[in-house]
Amino acid sequence: MNPFKKNGKSLSLFITAGYPEKESLGQQILFLQEQGVDFLEIGIPFSDPMADGPVIQETSSIALKNGMNLDLLFEQLSAIKRQVQIPLVLMGYLNPILQFGLSSFLEQCESLGISGLIIPDLSFELVQSKYRSTFESHQIPLIYLVTPTTSDTRIKQIAQVSQSSFIYLVGQNKITGSSYSLSTHAKRYSEIKSLCGEVPLFLGFGISSSAQKKEAFTYLDGVIVGSAYLQALSLGKEEEFIENLVS
């Protein structure tokens, strides 16, 4: 069963664990769940991210200063486990996960019912050659990123191993938070969607408005909104932002 497959379109939000306050995570998850968000991507703060734009970098920096770490993240998720009714995806970089211990990390994820992992600096090839059996033994799907320039062959390979999760379509070859016109890539988005078959394809990196969300819904299965929400959160306008986004 794929927890990300649904009859309609999906809206996901990215939040940074430990931001804006050390204990904000549980409150954020339950608040966004109440607002009708379909699933959440939880960022594990890291000092040297490779794909994150300035907004997410700043939230990670603040979260680290607040004292967020993997032990605390798992503790906070455990405290609200019974209240969470939507899929949770963890997004982090490989170095902190290896320092924690990959098997220990996956065991924690499994016990908490985490629905998937996004690890941008863990390549598809490295997983297949070195880590595949470890991830499969813990039944935690890896979610891979593709871009409009990813080859058709590679997209098909990724789709074959993503039957229990989704594929994350990076809207353009830039860091998170960069604005762009979806229509520029509309034809390619549709082609990628066809290559994915039954695997849901969600668009992220730069989605910031209800209008963009609705446009993306015409090509794809859903959107993931990150920087724009975190920016609204930093200004204390998260409720207004969500109200406008879901409209």
Specify burial of residue 162 (Cβ count, 10 A radius: 0-12, 13-18, 19+): buried
Catalytic residue check, 38: no
CA distance 166 to 169: 9
CA distance 127 to 94: 12
Catalytic residue check, 52: yes
Starting at the edge strand that comes first in sequence, how are the strands of the sheet with 116-118 ordered? Answer: 116-118, 88-91, 39-43, 10-16, 222-225, 201-204, 167-170, 145-146
38, 52, 215, 238: the catalytic one is: 52
b vs e for 91-112, b when ≥16 Cβ sit within 10 Å of the residue's Cβ? bbbbeebeebeeeebbebbeeb
Dmax (CA) of the chain: 46
Torsion angle in degrees (nearest 10) through CA of 180, 173, 205, 118: 170
SS3 state at 209: coil
Residue 192 near residue 226 (C-beta atoms within 8 A): no
**Token digits of residue 199:** 């695997």
**Token digits of residue 214:** 């609705």
- Comparing CA positions, the residue from 35, 119, 45 lying closest to residue 76 is 45
41, 215, 221, 238: the catalytic one is: 41
Which of the residues are catalytic?
Answer: 41, 52
